[in-house]
Structure 1
Amino acid sequence: MANAPRYQQIKAYIEEKIETRVWPVGTRIPTEYELCDLFNVSRMTVNKAVRDLVTDGLLERTPRLGTFVTEPKAESPLMDIRNIADEVTARGQHYHSVIHALKRLSAPVDVAMRLGVMLGTDVYYSEIVHYGDEIPLQLEQRWVNPALAPAYLEQDFNQTTPNEYLSSVCPVNTIEHSVEAINPSAAVKEALAMKSDEPCLLLHRRTWSQQTLVSAALLYHPGSRYKLTSRTDR
């Protein structure tokens, strides 16, 4: 690291302070001028290091107050489906969920269209909040075609997730995703412990197995705690 560019040395210094909890979440880090003096570099060099860490989600700038250590955002890929429990534990956090609903219902118009079934068809519905270290990260509302997952309502979703179970009984071969930023309902804000003015990322997801639509889900994420990523290799 001694031979690395100076801005990378500054990044490594800040990252080490965060990882060792010398600077826990909420700590205001030294100003750019203080870091300039500490490393004997230009402000441009310090700014690049800090800017990179803001982009990485480790720091957050607050106008007129300073730069603070922030809670890293959870992250999911847009081009793939990953089990949220695995994502949370991979970040070193404790995962658990709270089940708000698990039932059979008669599909209203919007659900019938979303799941590709006839109006009034019996479908399965689950509503679950997923947590990382006691912090709610995702509200999952899912409708499932019983023909493909007849034992869905019998699962213990405190021990597994809908994604994990459905992937085991009807492997996915087609995924449809769309994302929008929304002003969520009061119920969604309460479920995700969101601030009154906080934006929300809503991921619409539908999955197929052997050309048959298995499930349709609405996945709500607090904008301050989650990001969705995409990568395409060319």
Structure 2
Amino acid sequence: MLPGAAIPLYARVKALILRNIGDGTWPRDRRLPSEHDLVALTGASRMTVHRALRELTHAGVLHRVQGVGTFVAAPMARSGLIEIEDIAQEIRRRGAVHGSRVLLLDRVEAPGEVMSAFGEPGCRRPFHSVLVHSEDGTPVQHEERYVDPELAPDYGRQDFSARTPFDYLIEAVPLTEFEHVISAVAASPAIAAALDLPQGAPCLRLDRRTWSGARIATVNRLTYAGERCRLATRRVVSTS
């Protein structure tokens, strides 16, 4: 059975697996006990064990072989340049189901920080959207976006539960440039609630601005649950 009743059960299952990996009980390339055996070992439900295994697989700690089992993955450190890509496409490419929940879609007076981010001539009343994206039902990204209404006048009339803001904007606005700033942050109360995390849990924040010609089109803040994301890229290096 698992100690720590104040911690969500799936997190305690994950902690048990990580502890066994860390102390060498389950070394690299070792096949883990089956889900059935983990249910018996932990006292958790099959669904809870499956969630713990899925999240550790997405984090690169485990890897699953269809019809064979789940194995301890080799240690991994992956980082690199970040490209602009639709999160729905990323999730579907992994063979998972993307979902989105719209928390806010309105036109607002821009806060000072957002006004500064838009630069001159600025955008005083942008569209403001807030969504939570999920993978197989688990929330993975909190997306907050401010959009220049002169460049995307129909943004406020879109159904972003059916298509992502990225998918709409890449079609509606010719984007010519982007800027990324990446930070490690602790989950605020609002982010923790949206992503089903403990308050203060580690998160990765991607602040993004996009341009259409000389004008800033969007100011975005994408916050990822730290234990549920990896950032990676691959480039061909030119020697010419």
Distance 1:33-1:131 versus aligned 2 partners, 3 A rule: closer
Match of 1:101 among 101, 104, 113: 104
Looking at secondary structure, tell me which structure has more strand per residue.
Answer: 1
Q: Give the distance between the partners of 2:72 and 2:111, measured in 1 at CA.
A: 46
Q: Give the distance between the partners of 2:159 and 2:62, measured in 1 at CA.
A: 38
Do 1:112 and 1:118's aligned partners in 2 also have CA atoms closer than 8 Å? Answer: no
- 92-101 or 222-231: bigger deviation: 222-231
Match of 2:142 among 112, 116, 139: 139
Match of 2:180 among 155, 177, 187: 177
Shift of 1:120: 7.5
- Please give the secondary structure, in 2, of the residue aligned with 1:99: strand
The match for 1:148 is: 151
Amino acid at match of 2:26: T
Do 1:138 and 1:221's aligned partners in 2 also have CA atoms closer than 8 Å? Answer: yes
The match for 1:187 is: 190
Instruction: Map residues 36-185 of structure 1 onto 2, 5 A cutoff.
Output: 57-59=60-62, 78-116=81-119, 121-185=124-188
Q: Give the distance between the partners of 1:91 and 1:33, measured in 2 at CA.
A: 23
Distance 1:109-1:55 versus aligned 2 partners, 3 A rule: closer
Instruction: Map residues 188-207 of structure 1 onto 2, 5 A cutoff.
Output: 188-207=191-210
Do 1:207 and 1:215's aligned partners in 2 also have CA atoms closer than 8 Å? Answer: yes
Instruction: Map residues 21-36 of structure 1 onto 2, 5 A cutoff.
Output: 31-32=26-27
Indicate the structure (1 or 2) with the bigger Cα radius of gyration.
1
TM-score by length of 2: 0.67
- Please give the secondary structure, in 1, of the residue aligned with 2:191: helix
Shift of 1:79: 3.3
1:22-77 Cα offsets, whole Å, 9 max, x none, are: xxx88778734996xxxxxxxxxxxxxxxxx99980429xxxxxx9869xxxx997
Shift of 1:110: 0.9
Structure 1: 5+ residue stretches without partners: 1-24, 36-52, 61-66
Q: Give the distance between the partners of 1:54 and 1:164, measured in 2 at CA.
A: 27
1:82-130 Cα offsets, whole Å, 9 max, x none, are: 1111111111111110000000001121110112256781110000000
Distance 1:34-1:202 versus aligned 2 partners, 3 A rule: closer
Structure 2: 5+ residue stretches without partners: 1-13, 31-55, 64-69
Percent identity reads 36
TM-score by length of 1: 0.68
- Please give the secondary structure, in 2, of the residue aligned with 1:213: strand
Do 1:79 and 1:231's aligned partners in 2 also have CA atoms closer than 8 Å? Answer: no
Q: Give the distance between the partners of 1:82 and 1:224, measured in 2 at CA.
A: 20
Distance 1:111-1:210 versus aligned 2 partners, 3 A rule: same
RMSD over equivalenced CA pairs, Å:
3.4
Q: Give the distance between the partners of 2:174 and 2:208, measured in 1 at CA.
A: 15
